[in-house]
Chain A
Amino acid sequence: MPVLKNIAAIAKGMSITFMEMFQPTTVENYPDGKGPLRGARFEARFRGAHVLQRDENGLEKCVACFLCAANCPSNCIYIEAADNTAEHRVSGAERYAKVYNIDYNRCIFCGYCVEACPTDAITHGHGFELATFNASNLVYRKEQMLASRPAHMGANVVFNQADVDGGAPKEMVAGS
Chain B
Amino acid sequence: MADVTLTVDGKKVTAPAGTLLIEACKTVGIEVPSFCYYPNLSLQGACRMCLVKIEKMPKLQTACTTVISEGMIVTSDSEEIKQARKSMLEMLLGNHPLDCPVCDAGGECELQDMTFSYGAAESKFMEAKNHKDEQQWSPVVFFDRPRCILCYRCVRVCGEGMDVWALGVQNRGVSSIIAPNKEDHLECEECGMCIDICPVGALTSGAYRYKTRPWEMKHVGTICTHCGDGCKTTLGVRRADTGMEIVRGDNRDKSGTNGDFLCIKGRYAFDFANHEERLTQPLIRKEGKLTPATWEEAFQLIGKKFAEVRDRDGGSAIGVIGSTRTTNEESYLLSKFARMVLKTNNVDHHRTADFPAFAAALRGKADATASMADVFTAPAILLIGNDPTEQHPLLAWQIRNNVRLHRSRLYVINSQAIKLRRQATNFMQIPAGAEGKVAAFLAGDDAAADAIINSSSTKDQWNSLRDTLRGEQNLVIAFGSEILGSDLSSLVTFGSAIAGAKFVCLADYANSRGAADMGLYPDLLPGYHPISGSSEFHTEWGEIPQAAGLDLSGMVEAASTNKLKALYVVGSNPIGRLKIDSFAFSNSFVVVQDMFLTETAVVADVALPAANAYEKSGTFTNTCGDLQLVKKAGEVTGTKADFEMIVRIADAMGFDVRKLVPIGGGTHADMGQSRGAQSGEADRHAVWLEAHGLEPKLSPFDPMAILDEIQRLVPGYDVSRMNLLAGNSQHTSLAKAGPGVAHRPESISPANDTLFSSGTLGHYSRALKSVMESHEVKPAEVAAD
Interface size class of A (residues with CB under 8 A): 10 to 19
Give A25-77 interface residues, CB cut-off 8 Å to B.
63-67, 69-70, 75
B171 in contact (CB, < 8 A)? no
A119–B210 touching, CB < 8 Å: no
B residues near A70, Cβ cutoff 8 Å:
213, 215
| Contact residues in B for A67 (Cβ distance below 8 Å) | 101
> A94 → chain B, closest Cβ, in Å?
5
In whole angstroms, what is the CA distance A70 to B217 when docked? 12
In whole angstroms, how far apart are the Cα atoms of A78 and B216 in the complex?
10
A63 near B102 with CB under 8 A, answer yes
B101–A81 contact, CB under 8 A? no
Q: Which residues of B contact A169 (CB under 8 A)?
A: none
Chain B nearest CB from A82 CB (Å) reads: 8
Please judge, given known A-B contacts A93-B101, A118-B101, whether A66 and B677 are in contact too, CB under 8 Å: no
Known: A67-B101, A118-B100, A119-B101. A81 touches B212 (CB 8 A): yes
Separation in Å of the B111 CB from the closest CB of chain A?
16
Look across to chain B and name the residue whose beta carbon is closest to the beta carbon of A78: B678
| Contact yes or no, A65 B213, CB < 8 A | yes
A83 in contact (CB, < 8 A): yes
Question: How far is it, in angstroms, between the C-alpha of A65 and the C-alpha of B103 when the chains are bound?
Answer: 9
Which A residues lie within 8 Å of B677 (CB)? 75
Question: Distance in Å from the Cβ of B455 to the closest Cβ of chain A?
Answer: 55
Say yes or no: B102 contacts A83, CB within 8 Å: no
**Bound state CA distance, A4 and B210, in angstroms?**
82
- Report A91-137 residues with CB < 8 Å from chain B CB: 93-95, 118-119
A93 to B210, CA, bound (A): 10
| Given contact pairs A69-B216, A95-B210, a sample of 10 additional A-B residue pairs in the complex whose CB atoms are under 8 Å apart | A64-B102, A65-B101, A65-B102, A65-B213, A67-B101, A70-B215, A81-B210, A82-B210, A93-B101, A94-B209
A67 to chain B, nearest CB (A): 7
21 residue pairs of the A-B complex, CB under 8 angstroms, read A63-B101, A64-B102, A65-B101, A65-B106, A66-B212, A66-B213, A66-B215, A67-B101, A70-B215, A75-B678, A81-B210, A81-B211, A81-B212, A81-B213, A83-B209, A93-B99, A93-B101, A94-B102, A94-B210, A118-B100, A119-B101
Complex Cα distance A75/B215, Å? 13
Residues 135-146 of A, flagged 1 when their CB comes within 8 A of B and 0 if not, give 000000000000
Q: How far is the CA of A93 from the CA of B215 in the complex (A)?
A: 20
What is the bound-complex CA distance between A18 and B378, given in angstroms? 101
Could you mark each residue 87-114 of chain B with 1 if its beta carbon is under 8 Å from any beta carbon of chain A, else 0? 0000000000001111000100000000
Q: Which residues of B contact A95 (CB under 8 A)?
A: 102, 210
In the complex, residue of chain B having the shortest beta-carbon distance to the beta carbon of A84:
B210
Residue in chain B with minimal CB distance to A67? B101
Given A78-B678, A81-B211, A83-B210, A66-B216 contact (CB < 8 Å): yes
Closest chain A residue, CB of each to CB of B677: A75
Nearest B residue (CB) for A69: B216
**How near does chain B come to A144, taking the closest CB pair, in angstroms?**
20
CA distance in complex: A11, B211 (Å): 74
Docked complex Cα distance between A75 and B674 (Å): 15
**Chain B residues, Cβ within 8 Å of A81:** 210-213
Contacts of A69 in B (CB 8 A): 216
A93 lies within 8 A of B678 (CB): no
In the assembled complex, which residues on chain B have CB atoms less than 8 Å from the CB atom of A78?
678
CA distance A93 to B209 in the complex (A): 13
Question: What's the Cα separation between A107 and B212 when bound, in Å?
Answer: 23
Closest Cβ–Cβ distance, residue A100 to chain B (whole Å): 13
B594 to chain A, nearest CB (A): 30
Q: Write the chain A residue with the least CB distance to B98.
A: A118
Please report the C-alpha to C-alpha distance between residue A70 and residue B676 in the assembled complex, in whole angstroms.
11
Shortest A128–chain B CB gap in Å is: 26
- State the CA gap A83–B212 with chains docked (Å): 10
Q: Which residues of A contact B99 (CB under 8 A)?
A: 93
Instruction: Output the least CB separation between B534 and chain A (Å).
Output: 59
Q: Name A79's closest neighbour in chain B (CB-CB).
A: B216
Instruction: Determine which residue in B212, B213, B677 has the highest number of CB atoms from chain A within 10 A of its CB, and name it.
Output: B213
Q: Which of B166-219 contact A (CB under 8 A)?
A: 209-213, 215-216
Cα–Cα distance between A70 and B677 once the two chains are bound (Å): 10
Q: Which among B101, B211, B215, B216 has the greatest number of chain A C-beta atoms within 10 A? A: B101
Provide the bound-state CA to CA distance between A64 and B216, in Å: 12
The residue on B at minimum CB distance from A62 is B101
- Bound state CA distance, A26 and B216, in angstroms? 48
Once bound together, how far apart are the Cα atoms of A70 and B101, in whole Å? 12
Residue of A nearest to B678 (CB): A75
Give CA–CA (A63, B211) in the complex, Å. Answer: 12
Chain A contacts of B211 at CB under 8 A?
Answer: 81
Bound-complex Cα distance A83 to B209 (A): 8
CA distance A83 to B136 in the complex (A): 15
Nearest 6 CB-CB pairs, A to B?
A65-B101, A95-B210, A66-B213, A118-B101, A93-B102, A83-B210
Distance in angstroms from A133 CB to nearest chain B CB is 21
Q: Which residues of B contact A82 (CB under 8 A)?
A: 210
Nearest residue, chain B, Cβ from A93: B102
A118–B99 Cα distance when bound, in Å, is 10
B263 to nearest A CB, angstroms? 26
Q: Give chain A nearest CB distance to B448 CB in angstroms.
A: 59
Interface-centre pick from A69, A83, A93, A95 (highest chain B CB count, 10 A): A95
Complex: chain B residue closest to A66, CB-CB: B213
B646-689 interface mask toward A, CB cutoff 8 Å, 1 = contact, 0 = none? 00000000000000000000000000000001100000000000
Cα-based distance from A118 to B102 in the complex (angstroms): 10
A64: chain B residues within 8 A (beta carbon): 102
- Rounded to whole Å, the gap between the CB of B331 and the closest CB of chain A is 38
In the complex, A73 Cα to B678 Cα: how many Å?
12
**What's the nearest-Cβ distance from chain A to residue B147, in Å?**
12
Interface residues of B in 61-107 (CB under 8 A from A): 99-102, 106
Contacts of A94 in B (CB 8 A): 102, 209-210
Closest to A119 in B: B101
Return B579 CB to nearest CB of chain A, in Å: 41
- Closest CB-CB distance, A75 to chain B, in whole Å? 6
A94, B211: Cα distance in complex, Å:
11
Q: How far is the CA of A69 from the CA of B676 in the complex (A)?
A: 12
Tell me how far the C-beta of A77 lies from the nearest C-beta in chain B, rounded to whole angstroms. 9
The residue on A at minimum CB distance from B211 is A81
- Chain A residues positioned under 8 Å from B210 (CB to CB): 81-83, 94-95
Q: Which residue of B lies closest to A76 (CB)?
A: B678
Bound-complex Cα distance A66 to B209 (A) = 15
B636 to chain A, nearest CB (A): 18
Cα A83 to Cα B247 with chains together (Å): 14
Chain B residues, Cβ within 8 Å of A75: 677-678
Residues of A within 8 A of B213 (CB): 65-66, 70, 81
A78 to B239 alpha-carbon distance, docked (Å): 11
Query: Which chain A residues border B216 with CB–CB below 8 Å?
Result: 66, 69
By beta carbon, the residue of chain A nearest B134 is A94
Complex Cα spacing A41 to B448, Å: 99
Q: Which residue of A lies closest to B240 (CB)?
A: A80
